């Protein structure tokens, strides 16, 4: 598979991505299992009884590239989908494969690169474990393994994409909650699904990460949510964390030039 070194997706190449419709998620965790099996992701070293409903993986991490959240929410009995005043919200979270990916901006070794279909991948054999990408990610997706510090996250199964197969998680999803394809087509499909849910009375349904004008230029993995993003542990207004770097470097260069000019004046003035 050809790749672009950094930055934006390749112009002229149909960008691929995920559309996750949480209204269809049944919490089976088939996507988690398929992801681990295909990518040889080890068992989560932090796996324990968290007390968080039926969710024991708790969050995305170096050993959890797909995470299915179980959220119990107290709602009025008249709320669509409510049972005895409780509504279950389930969602399979994953790396967003941002259009403007801050992790790419800060990686000093080139371990992070963008593939031709627009996904963002970490090459573990090049990663030096600096952790810059971890702090740069606006979604808190990237994580480091404790044994050697290298960064890991979803690759959107780029090895499967290379041979024309869909990612393992989408292949395993029994309800088609996780859908893979060309982003433009997925966005059209998501718009139609949102309109359908609104007609059915799901007033809180909304698309998250679909808008190319959002703070990261649109997500390569976006979602249809049934509640506010914060309910799912997602930032309401994500921004690319490196957006101010060009201005900062420009100011730093200006300050450095000023210091050099001052030093030169002092030097030449002293010689006179």
How far is the C-alpha of 267 from the C-alpha of 42, rounded, in Å?
Answer: 61
Is 131 annotated to bind a ligand? Reply is no
- Whether residue 107 is annotated as binding a ligand: the answer is yes
250 is in an annotated binding site: no
23 is annotated as contributing to ligand binding: no
236: exposed, middle or buried (C-beta count within 10 Å: 0-12, 13-18, 19+)?
A: exposed
Q: Kindly tell me the burial class for residue 159, based on how many C-beta atoms sit within 10 Å of its own C-beta (0-12, 13-18, 19 or more).
A: middle
Q: Is 35 annotated as a binding residue?
A: yes
**160 marked ligand binding residue:** no
Check the annotation: does 137 bind a ligand.
yes
Q: Is 98 annotated as a binding residue?
A: yes
Instruction: Answer yes or no: is 40 a known binding residue.
Output: no
- Residue 264 annotated as binding? no
The answer on whether 247 is annotated among ligand-binding residues is no
28 is in an annotated binding site: yes
Provide the annotated binding site: 25, 28, 31, 35, 95, 98, 103, 107, 127, 130, 133, 137, 154, 157, 169, 173
Provide the annotated binding site for [4Fe-4S] cluster: 25, 28, 31, 35, 95, 98, 103, 107, 127, 130, 133, 137, 154, 157, 169, 173
């Amino acid at each position: 598979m050809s790749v672009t070194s950094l930055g934006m997706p390749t112009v002229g190449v149909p960008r691929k991505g995920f559309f996750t419709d949480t209204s269809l998620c049944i919490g089976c965790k088939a996507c988690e299992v398929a992801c681990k099996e295909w990518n040889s992701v080890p068992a989560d070293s932090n796996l324990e009884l968290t007390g968080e409903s039926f969710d024991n993986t708790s969050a995305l991490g170096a050993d959890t590239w797909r995470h299915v959240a179980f959220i119990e929410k107290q709602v009025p009995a008249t709320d669509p989908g409510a049972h005895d005043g409780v509504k279950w919200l389930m969602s399979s979270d994953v790396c967003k494969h941002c259009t403007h990916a801050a992790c790419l901006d800060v990686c000093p070794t080139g371990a992070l690169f963008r593939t031709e279909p627009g996904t963002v991948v970490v090459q573990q054999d090049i990663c030096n474990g600096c952790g810059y990408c971890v702090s740069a990610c606006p979604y808190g997706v990237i994580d480091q393994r404790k044994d050697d510090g290298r960064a890991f996250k979803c690759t959107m199964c780029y090895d499967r994409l290379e041979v024309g197969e869909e990612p393992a998680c989408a292949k395993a999803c029994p309800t088609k909650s996780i859908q893979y394809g060309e982003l433009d087509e997925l966005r059209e499909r998501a718009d139609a699904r949102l309109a359908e849910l609104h007609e059915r009375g799901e007033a809180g349904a909304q698309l998250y990460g679909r808008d190319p004008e959002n703070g990261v230029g649109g997500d390569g993995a976006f979602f249809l949510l049934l509640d506010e993003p914060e309910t799912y542990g997602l930032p309401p207004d994500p921004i690319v964390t490196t957006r101010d770097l060009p201005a900062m470097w420009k100011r730093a260069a200006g300050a450095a030039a000023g210091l050099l000019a001052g030093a030169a004046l002092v030097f030449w003035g002293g010689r006179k």
